[in-house]
Amino acid sequence: MAHVVTQPCCNDAACVSVCPVNCIHPAPHEPGYGTAEMLYIDPVSCIDCGACVEVCPVSAIVADIDLTDETAPYEEINAAFYSNGNSEDANVVRAQTKKVDSDEKLRPLKVAIVGSGPAACYTAEELLLRRDLAVEVNMFEQLPTPWGLVRYGVAPDHQGTKAVAELFQRTAGRRGMEMFLNVTVGKHVTHEELLESHDAVVYAIGASGSRRLDIPGEELPGSHSATEFVAWYNGHPDFADSVFDLSADRAVVIGNGNVALDVARLLVSEPQALAKTDMATHAVDRLAGSNIKEVVVMGRRGPAQAAYTTPELLALSQSSSFDVHVDMDESELDAYSRAATEGNDPIATVKLGILRKLASSVPSPGKKRIVLRYLASPLEVLGDDHVEGLRIAHNELVSTQDGRSQVRPTGVEEDIECGLVLRSIGYRGVPTGPLPIEPVSGTIANHGGRVTSESGACLTGVYVAGWIKRGPTGVIGTNKKCAKDTVEKIIEDHRAGRLKAPVRAPENLRQLISERQPDYLNFAGAKSIDAHERSLGRERGAPRIKLIDLNEMLRVAERPNV
């Protein structure tokens, strides 16, 4: 599949800079750009990443499979630009591709996908856009609302990131796609019944569990996982009634990844700003009455090893609603900067440059603040019947014989007074049906996406994609390649005759689900909820006001059985 530029093209060229394979021309620096009627995508080089779609200000770029009768000629127009020598003038780096012919001997493929987040949607997209065979996809989600991490994980003040849901909506509306929302696999339909109804079952259920510290006091009231806090402020129905003690002046976030920065930022953000996001109303109200004035974000390693990304750190440093303090003097940061430069680590060098500016900044009296602290490990959550503090160990970095750096306690301990502790030290998968979670990796055991048994043998027709496959790494778009790799395994097994044909008719599956879960929803129901939330949001000047109560969602939704 390739993308196509159509008539609305305004030659803005924002698409040119984001294309990873240089397939959009003429670019602003190339001859002919100033007189070009429009820009053109090379169908041979396009890798279907969709990056250009996101940045086009006039929505002129569409996938070739989505062209209408009116826009279909643009497929030829785009290709023609590269067939008359323009590609040589434009220095196009053409990808090596081959024509894929439809295999008429291969029976249609029917796939169940468990989950509706990024990995699930990318998997569905990869399957539905196959041109070499017919594919039908059934997607199963235990909540009435789809999109998983995009809805319930991405910070509410990151609306640009949430915009990827528009691509997923397009996938959900494709021919051959059916959604079963408010349906729990293992309760309303079993793993075995899915296999009876499909050639393959793909688990793309993410990693919703959180890793533990395993230190004394971790179970005290006021000590929580950041996962729970994120789900609470994002309006996840299972966490809407969670209670967080915001009465103390200080909170501590253990971990220094992007999620740690997210929760710290939202704890000290202005309530008026939060009300303009899609943060759950109950969270906006609670945070408006918060007494927290300082959030310490603590990592056990040094600043050069921090897991948060440069854009997240930069955005944090540019906020005007709170101060950011670095608990390390400039001379120490200079030493880390020299080491990063000598080690040819440009990303770490940029991060350290931002931290140096923060370290030299003058704090504003009376302003809330975030403190970035390094080389500290939690030893014990302090308190009798609730969190009163956190005992930490000071660390140092030492070099090993093979040149790597290793954390070593210095022997110095310190108590930090606080009333809330949030651990943000990683995610892990939660068991679903008969497929166990690996104790160390927190994933479902698999070989390249094919789920394996305890003996290591591949289970026929069972696959994984996304975090439950590879662990909680990468960003939302990283799941696209992960999904593509899994789909290739499915197609390979299908061609080799290793998949068992469904024995249950599609209408039998729908009837079974209707009987066990009369309140199941399809994509039309999800769109009803989406439209209602957006309508409520317009009254508040927000993108949406999320529905939290399941009964209210069902009342609003259009339902197949009603």
Annotated binding site for FAD: 119, 141, 149, 185, 467, 474-476
Distance CA 79, CA 67 (A): 14
- Which residue reads 């434009």 in tokens? 90
Please write down the HEC assignment for all residues of 194-205: HHHHCCEEEECC
Helix, strand, coil percentages (3-state) for the chain, rounded to 5, are: 35, 20, 45
CA-angle at 479, arms to 473 and 482, nearest 5°: 95
Using alpha carbons, select from 185, 200, 55, 192 the residue that is nearest to residue 124.
200
Residue 543 in tokens: 């993108």
Using alpha carbons, select from 218, 221, 223 the residue that is nearest to residue 379.
218
Distance CA 30, CA 81 (A): 14
Q: Which residues pair with 416 in a beta bridge?
A: 390
Please enumerate, by residue number, every residue annotated as part of a binding site for NADP(+).
256-259, 300-301, 312, 474
- DSSP state for residue 457 in the 8-state scheme: P
Using alpha carbons, select from 339, 372, 343 the residue that is nearest to residue 357.
372
Residue 344 in tokens: 């040819």
Given a contact cutoff of 8 angstroms between Cβ atoms, the answer to whether 172 and 179 are in contact is yes
What are the E-state strand segments in 171-240? 177-181, 200-203, 209-210, 223-225
Please enumerate, by residue number, every residue annotated as part of a binding site.
119, 141, 149, 185, 256-259, 300-301, 312, 467, 474-476
Q: Are strands 61-63 and 3-5 parallel, antiparallel or unpaired?
A: antiparallel
Give the chain's length.
562
Task: Identify the H or E element spanning 392.
Answer: strand 389-399
Given a contact cutoff of 8 angstroms between Cβ atoms, the answer to whether 65 and 48 are in contact is no
